Amino acid sequence: MRILILGDVVGSSGRKVVAEHVPRLRRELDLDFVIVNGENAAHGFGITGPICAELYAAGADVITTGNHVWDQREIAAYIENDSRLLRPLNYSQGAPGRGSGVFAARDGHQVMVIHPMGRLYMEPLDNPFTAVEAALANHRLGASVAAIVVDIHAEATSEKMAMGVFLDGRVSAVVGSHTHVPTADARVLPGGTAYLTDLGMCGDYDSVIGMEKGLATERFVRKVIGGRLEPAEGPGALAGLYVETDDATGLARRVEPVRIGPGLAQAIPERGR
């Protein structure tokens, strides 16, 4: 199976670059499944129903989110009726929506997506490790599902790496999101799980993690708190990870970073390499 996982979409710049490149990547890489993190897609803060429709039209099969999932007021009602939009798994019981699901890939195989959120320097949520363990209780890689992808939305690299170690050999891929900076550690772990500490973002990299540089910088230089951060709206770049899995086991056999657009060293996987 061929899977593309994209980092946090930030504002209109991020949405445009996804719409521009994902349809072509689906064709050229013969992708079976695409996951997009959309938590900053609505002007940098959260996501809306129409934006979900826009990302689905571009080729996303599932949209993950993160700590900004509830920033747009209408999303709490919308998410109850959109099984392909995931909020963090380890919110307390009773939160709207769901944090994991099983979805049909283009080739008909079943793909499980699990979306925990880290706790270190983040919100005081339930334990993401035990939440993932519970989500996996009724599914086994290579048996009930052909692939399992975990998007851990977390600040600390150590927490993301620990999740990779915790799940190595039991899921197809563990990828980190949230920091908006693509890391250089894409690899297959010893047990066969693809891993990347952070996917990066889809957005304008001539920015401070996707936001206009002026106020974002002033907050650090002068401790200016007033004003609302605005997403940078220059030409966007797309960042994420390409994973190929073994059809028999569901484990990763190939993993490559994806980086397309200004501000990043380009990395475009070749089909059938």
pLDDT band at 273 (very low <50, low <70, confident <90, very high): low
Which residue has better confidence, 107 or 68? 68
Question: Which residues lie closer than 8 Å to 127 by C-beta, 6 or more apart?
Answer: 90, 119
Interval 198-226 mean pLDDT: 92
Residue 224 has pLDDT above 80, yes or no: no
In percent, how much of the chain has pLDDT > 70? 99
Over residues 133-172, the pLDDT tens digits come to 999 999 999 999 999 999 999 999 999 999 999 999 999 9
**Which is higher by pLDDT, 225 or 14?**
14
Q: What is the pLDDT of residue 86?
A: 98
Please say if 109 is a catalytic residue. no
Mean pLDDT across the chain: 96
Superfamily the domain 2-260 falls into: Metallo-dependent phosphatases (3.60.21.10)
Residue partners of 93: CB distance under 8 A and separation at least 6? none
- Across the beta sheet with 173-177, the strand order is 100-104, 110-114, 147-153, 173-177, 194-196, 187-188
In the chain, where are the structural domains located?
2-260
- Of 127, 152, 194, 136, nearest to 67 by C-alpha is 152
pLDDT tens-digit readout, 50-59: 999 999 999 9
Q: What is the pLDDT of residue 138?
A: 92
- Of 2-11, 160-169, 264-273, which gets the smallest average pLDDT? 264-273
- Mean predicted confidence (pLDDT) in 37-46: 97
Q: Please tell me which residue in 21, 43, 68, 178 is annotated as part of the active site.
A: 68
Judge contact between 120 and 154, C-beta under 8 A.
yes
Model pLDDT, residue 108: 92
Mean pLDDT, residues 41-52: 98
Q: Which among 180, 151, 154 is positioned nearest to 10, based on CA atoms?
A: 180
pLDDT band at 226 (very low <50, low <70, confident <90, very high): confident
pLDDT at 131 over 90: yes
pLDDT value at 132 more than 80: yes
DSSP of 208-268, one letter per residue? BTTB-HHHHHHHHHT----S---B--S--BEEEEEEEE-TTT--EEEEEEEEESTTS--B-
Does 176 have pLDDT greater than 90?
Answer: yes
Q: What is the pLDDT of residue 228?
A: 87
Q: What is the pLDDT of residues 228-264, one digit of tens each?
A: 899 999 999 999 999 999 999 999 999 999 999 999 9
